Structure 1
Amino acid sequence: MGMASALDTFCGQSYGARQFHMLGIHMQRAMFVLSVVSIPLAIIWANTRSILIACGQQKDIAEEAGLYARFMIPSLFAYGLLQCLVKFLQTQNIVFPMMIFSGITTLFHILVCWVLVFKTGLENRGAALANSLSCWINVLLMVLYVKFSSSCSKTWTGFSKEAFHDTVSFVRLAIPSAVMVCLEMWSFESMVLLSGLLPDPELETSVLSISLNTAATVWMIPYGLSGAASTRVSNELGAQRPYLARNEIQVVNYVAVMLPVVATSNFLDGLQCVLSGVARGCGWQKIGAYINLGSYYLVGIPIAILLAFVFHVGGKGLWLGIICALVVQVLSLATITVRTNWEQEAKKATDRVYDEVIPVDTVS
């Protein structure tokens, strides 16, 4: 998801600049890179059990998690392709079909998950397989839409060898994009790992994992706003309309500056999602990665460890550490957004778009 978010910048700004054929090139390039990156990730997933045990986790918990991770490997490759397709359509403001496909997939997933978990005896393995199957179905539906829909006739012009050219420019933005996303998400996940080291790890990991999934469910709402902000900002910058991009951000900045530091973690996370979307739309992934590194790993996790293990607050202390990280992250992103020169960002968008323009007649 992190590496695919580089398409927020490339596809969004190309669409705004009306270089429609470049969106298909960028998507193919992203699919190639993400498929390659998924291979070492799959190897890590296959060795999850050993990694967790080496980190000091309880053996039976590590065994179950490792088994689940192995059966989730097929979903890894599907998810990479799915994220590329989502960004390709989202940056063109094609959202309704994606909602329909997700709804169809979800309804199908409920049935498949019930059958594989309860009727086949696969239990957790069945849940992992259901996730993989549903993800591939969603990919198939979106591929068919891109291939046959008239909405994508200008942006999808078929496969092209140009997608394998200049992958360095994509990777150069994709890596900090991934770091920006992963540093935040891993900090939340690390709370579950740390809870496994507390007294009564079964209770602590159960509570923390349920809390994490609950927060992730609520987080999907501001993440949708993040995608909207990213699309609007990148489109307007690519179209050389920096004043429209700036007007959208002023509201976000004003709210972020006025936030009380005692706001709940979900509310803070909603703000950082929108601001992160603005950052991706502008191509600031490297800056975002540094902010997330400092916020979560220099502030949030140390405070979480201090509260949980020194002051013995337990799982609640781990979550309070994340709130501290969110406060630092929101304030940092808001400060950078307020001080941005939008005319200069529009010029950068032009350079980024037209440096890679491929004549339409060369696209196969």
Structure 2
Amino acid sequence: MSHFSQLSGTPSSLPQDYAILSRFAAPRQDEEPEASSTRSDQEEYGEEDELFTSPKPSRRTSFPSSYIVPPQPSVYIIPTVPDVRPTENTPLLAPFMPRIQEDVDFPYDGQEPSTSQMYWEELCILSKYTLPVFGTHVLEHSMIMSSVVSIGHISTVALAAATIGFMTANVTGLSIIQGLVSSLDTMLPGAWTSDQPQLVGLWTQRMMVVTSATLIPMFAIWFNAESILLFVRQEPEVARLAGIYLKWASLGLPAYAFNCISRRYFQSQGLFDVPTRIAVCVAPVNILLNYLLVWGPEPIRLGFIGAPIATSVSYNLVSIASVVYGIFFVEKTAWHPLSRRCFTSLGLLVQLGLGGVGQVASEWWSWELIGLAASLLGPVALATQSVLLATSSSTFQAPFALGVATSVRIGNLLGEKNARRAGVSANAAILLSAALAAFFSVLLLIFRKSWGYLFNNDVEVVALVASILPLVALFQVFDSTCAICSGILRARGKQFTGALINLSAYYIIGIPLGLWLTFKHGMQLSGLWYGLTAALVYGSAFGIWLSLTTNWNREVEKVVERLAVDKKFRGGQADHECLTN
């Protein structure tokens, strides 16, 4: 086996794996090894404890999963305890690390595939991962839309209050949670395919600690939303109803945070369909609850507050289902027993999480500012902006799902120390995003003259939508690329870099340019979209450049370094237990 294949962690043939494992097998227990041979072995392999704790020997096997037994913790060997190294009776098929298994990992000839073949393989894998993620996000989005539709038929004031309430929830809560939890996109996939899969559970517990602390100021804002909205000169009745909306919506805030975490816990192990199955079950219940609590029979009808209550109940149902599924239907390989270690290494999560907040929240907040600017152009422009925003948000779900799948796939490959395939996967994701963007762009161009009728019957609004949709079609290309590049940056732990790109793209280029074109050059709503497109051109160009110039071997080393902290802790704990016993 070549030196390069050892470093990259690429699959090898069965005879090679057998030879490697047989070299680590201890002599028969009934035979006395000679002192010279023992000394020779120590010189060749180094100290015994280094043999079992160094990350260098760790590699994937090419054996099918049906023959693989769960991984055992590393054992630190000291002179006072018996030698527990593998013997001739140890199963040769025991792996050095768990992993998400794909057919491409077991080539029949044992040879590494060509680059073109690897591109095709990664395109297929990413497509397979993306579909369930896309389904999950669409179904969760339907929970929010059910609430809006239910309230929208009560009154215009109620709809305005719900819109303001949901906007406040996005800015002060949901976007921050999404940004913080994005740090798990860096930590979990690499941990799962390393020799310490239980770190998936440990980092999940740590993130729960971090998000629990951040919920306190969020609750404070949501419970005092009415006074805050009155302070920014919102209409009193709208502010009052929005405050009520947020108070009842807060019942689902902890569950929303937990769902963001549990989803990544499952996805990092390749269980992409688990969140989708749960959402498929809960989404119809959410629709039924919205109808019953808002418009149902008199004994159970609650009116306006029924919508946020229904959404909160649905989020909690998703959380309960996730816990039940994780306990009874998922192997415990990734889980870590509850301990005080969940309060350690929180600084790294906070550091990555703050970068994630800057990366996610800066983009969310920019759209709120664009919507505010559109409201100054009159009701027709505002209605048109609502149609265009709903359109772009819907088409964004596909590349966003691909970005999540890309983050998981690259993280898994980095944990497997497969640097070459990680780079190919990143490039393949960018190509796939271009194909998605082309599809949506063509769709919008073909139906641009009638697209507005899906949302509004006003002829003036439909005409304005048709005039701007060609620009929105161009927007799709760069919006899709940015989603993928953000996923690649999260896999690399570069949330802070992503935050800098988004902040400069939207707040230095996009929004100022859009406002200048809109109000100084009289381009109206088109000017705002020209500004947004310019921001995404800048962001996608930087993202692609960073992806193409990545040193993936260095990224593998960084994953090993992050995991080494907990490995050292575990090793020290094992030494302490051996000495005390």
Global fold match (TM > 0.5):
yes
Answer whether contact 1:35 1:81 (CA < 8 A) is retained.
no
CA distance in 2, matches of 1:50, 1:194: 24
Quote the Cα distance in structure 2 between the aligned partners of 1:123 and 1:209.
25
In 1, Cα distance between equivalents of 2:341 and 2:389: 41
The alpha-carbon deviation at position 152 of structure 1 amounts to 3.3
Give the 3 Å change call, closer, same or farther, for CA 55–265 of structure 1 in structure 2.
farther
Is it true that 1:295 corresponds to 2:475 in the alignment? no
Deviations 1:143-186 (A, max 9, x none): 1111222x331111432221111211211111101211111111
Question: Is 1:359 equivalent to 2:539 in the alignment?
Answer: no
Q: Which amino acid aligns with 1:169?
A: L
CA contact (8 A) 1:49 1:65 kept: yes
Shift of 1:74: 1.9
Partners of 2:373 and 2:239 in 1: CA distance: 13
| Partners of 2:389 and 2:401 in 1: CA distance | 18
Unaligned 5+ segments in structure 1 are: none
| Change over 3 Å in CA distance of 1:140–1:254 after alignment to 2 | closer
Q: Which position in structure 2 is the counterpart of 1:166?
A: 345
Structure 1 residues 52 and 43 mapped into 2: Cα distance closer, same or farther (>3 Å)? same
8 Å contact kept, 1:7–1:27:
yes
- Distance in 1 (alpha carbons) for counterparts of 2:475 and 2:223: 33
1:110-149 to 2 correspondence within 5 Å? 110-119=287-296, 122-149=302-329
Q: 1:30 to 1:103 in 2, by over 3 A?
A: same
Q: Match of 1:84?
A: 261
2:434/2:481 contact within 8 Å kept: no
Contact 1:238 1:353 in 2 (8 A): no
Aligned twin of 1:341 = 551
Correspondence 1:320 to 2:530: yes
Deviations 1:105-135 (A, max 9, x none): 1111111111122225544432222211111
Q: Residue 273 in 1 paired to residue 483 in 2?
A: yes
Identity %: 28
Q: CA deviation at 1:279?
A: 0.7
User: Residue 39 of structure 1: CA displacement?
Assistant: 1.7
Counterparts of 1:38 and 1:117 in 2: how far apart (Å)? Answer: 28
Match of 1:340, SS? coil
CA distance in 2, matches of 1:48, 1:57: 11
Evaluate the alpha carbon distance shift between residue 53 and residue 216 of structure 1 in structure 2; reply closer, same or farther with a 3 A threshold. Answer: farther
Tell me what 1:215 maps to. 392
C-alpha change, 1:354 and 1:224, in structure 2 (3 Å) is same
Q: Distance in 1 between matches of 2:420 and 2:549?
A: 14
- Name the CA distance, whole Å, in 1 between partners of 2:540 and 2:366: 15
Task: Specify the structure having the higher radius of gyration (Cα).
Answer: 2
Q: How many Å separate the matches in 1 of 2:478 and 2:289?
A: 35
Q: 1:175 is matched with which residue: 329, 341, 354?
A: 354
Name the counterpart of 1:20. Answer: 197
Q: Are the aligned partners of 1:219 and 1:270 in contact in 2 as well (CA < 8 Å)?
A: yes
Kept in 2, the 8 Å contact 1:253–1:338? The answer is no
Q: Which moved more, 1:315-324 or 1:84-93?
A: 315-324
- Report the alpha carbon displacement of residue 312 of structure 1 after superposing the two structures with TM: 4.4
* Offset from partner CA, 1:292-329 (integer Å, 9 cap, x none): 10011111111232233334444443333322222211
Give the structure 1 partner of residue 93 of structure 2.
none
Could you say if the C-alpha distance between residues 238 and 28 of structure 1 is closer, same or farther in structure 2, counting changes exceeding 3 Å?
A: same
Moved more, 112-121 or 306-315: 306-315
**Ranges in structure 2 where 5+ consecutive residues have no aligned partner:** 1-177, 439-469, 575-581
- Provide the residue aligned with 1:284 in structure 2: 494
Distance 2:210 2:260 in 1: 12
Select 2:411's aligned residue among 219, 222, 234.
234
Contact 1:58 1:196 in 2 (8 A): no
Contact residue 185 and residue 490 of structure 2 kept, 8 A: yes
Deviations 1:209-253 (A, max 9, x none): 454344323322211111110001111111111101001122345
**Structure-to-structure mapping, 1:250-269, within 5 angstroms:** 250-253=427-430, 263-269=473-479
Q: Partner of 1:28: helix, strand, or coil?
A: helix
Equivalent position of 1:156 in the other structure: 335
- Give the direction of change, closer, same or farther, for the CA distance of 1:212–1:115 in structure 2 (3 Å limit): farther
The separation in 2 between residues aligned to 1:312 and 1:60, in whole angstroms, is: 34
Which piece of structure 1 moves more, 315-324 or 25-34? 315-324
* Higher mean C-alpha displacement, 321-330 vs 7-16: 321-330
Paired residues of 2:406 and 2:429 also in contact (CA < 8 A): no
> Of 208, 211, 215, which aligns to 1:38?
215
The structural deviation recorded for 1:17 is 1.1
Aligned partner of 1:216: which letter?
S
The separation in 1 between residues aligned to 2:521 and 2:415, in whole angstroms, is 51
Alpha carbon RMSD of aligned pairs, Å? 2.8
Aligned residue for 1:18, secondary structure, equals coil
Distance between the aligned counterparts of 2:198 and 2:432, measured in 1? 37
Would you say how many aligned residue pairs link Structure 1 and Structure 2?
360
Contact persistence 1:24–1:156 (CA under 8 A):
yes
Normalising by the residue count of structure 1, what TM-score does the alignment of the two structures yield?
0.89
How much does 1:87 deviate?
0.7
Between stretches 9-18 and 69-78, larger displacement belongs to: 69-78
Structure with greater helix percent:
1
Q: Distance in 2 between matches of 1:197 and 1:51?
A: 22
The 3 A distance-change label for structure 1 pair 196 and 67 is: farther
TM-score (normalised: structure 2):
0.57
